Structure 1
Amino acid sequence: MQLLFEEGGEIRAGTVLSQQGEAYQVELPAGKRTKVKSKDVLLQFAQPSAIEMVRQTGDLTAEIDLDFLWECAPPDEFGFAELAAEYYGADAGAVQQAALAMALHGNPVYFRRKGRGRYLRAPEDQLKAALAAVERKKQQLQLQGEYEAQLKAHKLPEAFRGKVLQLLFKPDKNSLEYKAMDAACTALGMTPMRLMVAVGGVESPRALHEAKFLADCFPKGTGFADVDVPEPSADLPVADVQAFSIDDVTTTEIDDALSVTRTADGKLRVGIHIAAPGLGIRRGDALDAIARPAAVHGVFPRR
């Protein structure tokens, strides 16, 4: 004897090995054995075998027209066998009944479960709203897939323009753009920052670091009033070198640098460079009025 039964929220088929009271010992098509209570059994049949039942119902379920099935369903609660007789005819066999049970069970948008093997069709207005939501979700997933494919091909999707820095620093993780970027990063084994540089979303690593600094230290923007920046003192020597910052990525005051040059006699000279912006700011002037609140609030940590 073969059984169609519900287990773990899914409809399964299996071959009965033994029965003890209200319980069956059943072997599933994959060879696993399970205990099935009689209250969970939806259908008993002799033919086809459980393996063949799974194959045939899979093909038949895919052919069911859900819209037409919903129209065929009675307005009140019903059993899957009743609807199978209405949809396929009074002589609906085990495979057809099982296929219909799986179609009802696997489409909660159209049909609500009311118990083992029993269902109620969704109200028309709710069905229309649910189908519209499903279609929107389908279109969103398709668009997300297109974004992901473009990113993996190192192309910046048009929808990303103007959003890249927000995606990197303050992302909405529910947005299609973020999900596509996250999936592309996983597939390519890259960080979001490296990917955005690679696809041209950010001009260069330097531009990225500058943008990160501004986002962290000036979250309200840099729209300060125009001020006259004083010239440095004439007695300060200008070094004819190219200096490189030695601060790490967590530093908010990038004021240390070094340089290496070769002298005329072939020796290497190492230069240590310390920024001293305070030399150009006097207490009470326009620059001081801008810089002082920032220092007080910790934007520019003091040593």
Structure 2
Amino acid sequence: MTDLALIYDDNSYKIVRLLSQDKKSVSIELLAANKQQKKIKFDNLVDSFSSSNPEKLITSVSTLSQEIDQELLWELSSDNQLWNYESLAELYFSDSSLAHKIALFIALTSPEIYFVYNPKEKKLKRCNQEEINQHKLQIAKQKEYQEKFDRIYNKLINKEQPDWQIDPLSLLNKPDKNSIEFKASSKAAKELKLTLAELLFELGYIKSIEELMTTNFIRHYFPQGTELANITINDHSEDIPFNNTIKVFSIDDSNTTEIDDAFSVEKINDGWKIGIHISAPSLNKELLTIASSRISTVYYPGHKITMLPEQIISHYSLDQGKELPVVSIYFTIDNQMIVVSHESKLELVKVSDNLRTETLEQYFNTENLSIDHGYPYESELKLLHKFALALEEKRGRPSVNQLMVDYNFSFSDDGQVIIKPRLRGNPIDKLVSELMILANCTWGRMLTNAFIPAIYRVKQPREPVVMTLTPNSHTGLNVDYYTWATSPLRRAADIVNQSQIISLLTKTKPLAATDYAVANIVENFDDVYSAYLKFQDSMEHYWSLRYFLQENITQVNATFTFKCNVQLDGVPIQLDISHLTTMQPAGTVIKLAISDINLINQTFNYRIIN
């Protein structure tokens, strides 16, 4: 004799071999070919019994359960509402043999229409007519659902396009994971050993991987679209005093179209007056809400989604020859590069020149600082660099990561991707970084002392950098207060802080801490800005893989940066290769073999070859 049990498992009732049981659980062995053993809850045990021929019992139960007239049994059982299944078997078969009672139980519960089983009481409850109708309706719906699921699944598993009433690409962007389309697609993709994106690509739904990535991002973060309507410029610049005594110049690469910072250098008796001039779009209060809702400009290879309307950027960009309103901060320094005083102003200036880093770097670099070349603004740039070195030394922190590489992506007319790496840490980077830090710290301190709400960039030991309304230090930069106010054409925090600075300078009412433009940035900046950067990284990663394929690159040098992290040469891809080698000193170079590039999943295989 074999100890058996009738149990509920995996959404169905079945006969299994009974191994053991206690008050909480039951150990069983499935009678299928694999004879899987498992534990189930005690409540899922319907009954236990013995049989000398389990196979014959199961066959008999299967046949009998198909022949039972459930409606007849329901009519015969009208005397009682609760039944044990032995009594129902006696009523229907005139006996309660093992095969009869188990067959009857399985028939009544697969699915439940006329009776409902209560596992706590071990009883079958007789349903009323309304409940029966509800059960039949539910079964019909389940059947319809399953048929639709099977139609979609069978098409997908055969790599054919289903006849579905959805945008298939919506399955990749914030999908409804309870939808029949998502469940069928996910199951088919898993069976085919593909990602969902790979499956949709093979089915022809994805025409362009980069377009898919961009569309998904825009749908999520810009559901109303990326275009911004023009606004009427009303900055009252005619009432702002014009400063015609200085020569203002900017420093940017040739691709920059939103120039929001510039400099001036003026020799005075005992030193110099260094001017930092920031474009002032915040004079248009309407822009504060627009900027706050967008958080920042989004950059990715070949494109950008601007924070402000293009018309505003075009107007306020500090392009050569323009006369524009700016927020200026002047630092008077002595011959030892020590700041003696500072003064901030709202003024009009004329931009004399836009210097381009590509041209400057040929002469204004570490190797040539001691050589006079006679290029434009050479003396001013060298003075500013000397001042920047003094500022960096005083702070005791480097402003630029010397190992950091910037990558400029561009595209030829025939669609070829061009990647130009640029090592950071040259005199231009240090000059710009230090002067921006100085301006942002000084303005942050001014707003704090004036008790005007401002958005601070705060970094505390062992804590992430956060945006906050509470003034505090930035230990990474080793400064007491730090705001962002020098990129108002590109970052929302900067344009809002600039508005507060202008209110301080003009003695007008500042924004309250509860104003939407302020509160929304503090609440959402870090998450949204991180998402923007993640999207930029993913697009750069994609185009880097395209570059490998385009240039037929199968081997690449990789430089250790930290522990087992390496930076691939020529592209912005970092890898953790701890599964391939041990930690090496920073700067150690190895060669990797690249293979099996998958553009859809943005993956590739690699191994060390020396």
- Could you tell me the TM-score, scaled by structure 1's length? 0.60
Answering whether residue 139 of structure 2 is matched by residue 128 of structure 1, we say no
Q: Which residue number in structure 1 is paired with residue 479 of structure 2? A: none
> Residues 4 and 12 of structure 1 are in contact (CA less than 8 Å); yes or no, is this contact kept in structure 2?
yes
Q: How far, CA to CA, are the matches of 1:122 and 1:152 in structure 2?
A: 40
Secondary structure at the aligned position of 1:119 is classed as strand
CA deviation profile, 1:151-203 (whole Å, cap 9, x unmatched): 23333323254x22322111010001111111121112222222222222232
Answering whether residue 221 of structure 2 is matched by residue 175 of structure 1, we say no
Structure 2: state its 5+ residue gaps. 19-28, 38-44, 232-252, 256-296, 302-407, 423-487, 496-520, 534-610
Counterpart residue type for residue 55 of structure 1: T
Answering whether residue 156 of structure 2 is matched by residue 151 of structure 1, we say yes
C-alpha spacing 1:41/1:216, structure 2 compared with 1 (3 Å): closer
> Residues 70 and 110 of structure 1 are in contact (CA less than 8 Å); yes or no, is this contact kept in structure 2?
yes
C-alpha spacing 1:160/1:197, structure 2 compared with 1 (3 Å): farther
C-alpha spacing 1:152/1:204, structure 2 compared with 1 (3 Å): farther
Counterpart residue type for residue 167 of structure 1: L
Counterpart residue type for residue 150 of structure 1: K
Q: How far, CA to CA, are the matches of 2:110 and 2:75 in structure 1?
A: 17
CA deviation profile, 1:260-288 (whole Å, cap 9, x unmatched): 99xxxxxxxx87499xxxxxxxxxxxxxx
Counterpart residue type for residue 139 of structure 1: E
Structure 1: state its 5+ residue gaps. 16-26, 33-39, 228-235, 239-250, 262-269, 275-288
Q: How far, CA to CA, are the matches of 1:180 and 1:101 in structure 2?
A: 32
Secondary structure at the aligned position of 1:224 is classed as coil
Secondary structure at the aligned position of 1:180 is classed as helix
Q: Which residue number in structure 2 is paired with residue 138 of structure 1? A: 143
C-alpha spacing 1:66/1:295, structure 2 compared with 1 (3 Å): farther
> Residues 89 and 95 of structure 2 are in contact (CA less than 8 Å); yes or no, is this contact kept in structure 1?
no
Q: How far, CA to CA, are the matches of 2:208 and 2:46 in structure 1?
A: 64
> Residues 42 and 116 of structure 1 are in contact (CA less than 8 Å); yes or no, is this contact kept in structure 2?
no
Deviates more, 1:67-76 or 1:168-177: 67-76
Secondary structure at the aligned position of 2:198 is classed as helix
Structure 1 residue 144 displacement after superposition: 1.3
Structure 1 residue 50 displacement after superposition: 4.3
Q: How far, CA to CA, are the matches of 1:28 and 1:202 in structure 2?
A: 44
Q: Which residue number in structure 2 is paired with residue 279 of structure 1? A: none
Secondary structure at the aligned position of 1:112 is classed as strand
Structure 1 residue 14 displacement after superposition: 7.8
Q: Which residue number in structure 2 is paired with residue 199 of structure 1? A: 203
Q: Which residue number in structure 2 is paired with residue 61 of structure 1? A: 65
Secondary structure at the aligned position of 1:68 is classed as helix
Counterpart residue type for residue 99 of structure 1: A
Secondary structure at the aligned position of 1:253 is classed as strand
Q: How far, CA to CA, are the matches of 1:97 and 1:67 in structure 2?
A: 17
Deviates more, 1:193-202 or 1:132-141: 193-202
Answering whether residue 371 of structure 2 is matched by residue 219 of structure 1, we say no
Q: Which residue number in structure 2 is paired with residue 110 of structure 1? A: 114
Q: Which residue number in structure 2 is paired with residue 190 of structure 1? A: 194
Q: How far, CA to CA, are the matches of 1:132 and 1:201 in structure 2?
A: 36
Q: Percent identity?
A: 23
Counterpart residue type for residue 73 of structure 2: L
Counterpart residue type for residue 257 of structure 1: F
Q: How far, CA to CA, are the matches of 1:71 and 1:108 in structure 2?
A: 16
Q: How far, CA to CA, are the matches of 2:224 and 2:494 in structure 1?
A: 15
> Residues 115 and 127 of structure 2 are in contact (CA less than 8 Å); yes or no, is this contact kept in structure 1?
yes
From 93, 96, 103, the equivalent of 1:99 is 103
C-alpha spacing 1:29/1:197, structure 2 compared with 1 (3 Å): closer
C-alpha spacing 1:193/1:79, structure 2 compared with 1 (3 Å): closer
C-alpha spacing 1:156/1:73, structure 2 compared with 1 (3 Å): same
Answering whether residue 258 of structure 2 is matched by residue 254 of structure 1, we say no
Q: Which residue number in structure 2 is paired with residue 35 of structure 1? A: none
Q: How far, CA to CA, are the matches of 1:66 and 1:145 in structure 2?
A: 28
Q: How far, CA to CA, are the matches of 1:204 and 1:80 in structure 2?
A: 61
Structure 1 residue 122 displacement after superposition: 1.6
Secondary structure at the aligned position of 1:257 is classed as strand
Q: How far, CA to CA, are the matches of 1:190 and 1:44 in structure 2?
A: 46
Secondary structure at the aligned position of 2:104 is classed as helix
Q: How far, CA to CA, are the matches of 2:254 and 2:8 in structure 1?
A: 79
Q: How far, CA to CA, are the matches of 1:271 and 1:69 in structure 2?
A: 78
Q: How far, CA to CA, are the matches of 2:214 and 2:158 in structure 1?
A: 26
Q: Which residue number in structure 2 is paired with residue 230 of structure 1? A: none
Q: How far, CA to CA, are the matches of 2:186 and 2:31 in structure 1?
A: 38
Counterpart residue type for residue 300 of structure 2: I
Answering whether residue 79 of structure 2 is matched by residue 79 of structure 1, we say no
Structure 1 residue 252 displacement after superposition: 4.5
> Residues 13 and 53 of structure 1 are in contact (CA less than 8 Å); yes or no, is this contact kept in structure 2?
no
Q: How far, CA to CA, are the matches of 1:237 and 1:116 in structure 2?
A: 80
Q: How far, CA to CA, are the matches of 2:194 and 2:206 in structure 1?
A: 15
Q: How far, CA to CA, are the matches of 1:295 and 1:150 in structure 2?
A: 53
Alignment of 1:220-299 (within 5 A): 220-225=224-229, 252-255=298-301, 256-258=408-410, 272=420
Q: How far, CA to CA, are the matches of 2:223 and 2:421 in structure 1?
A: 29
C-alpha spacing 1:152/1:77, structure 2 compared with 1 (3 Å): closer
Counterpart residue type for residue 97 of structure 1: K
**Which structure shows the bigger proportion of residues in helix conformation?**
1
Secondary structure at the aligned position of 1:158 is classed as coil
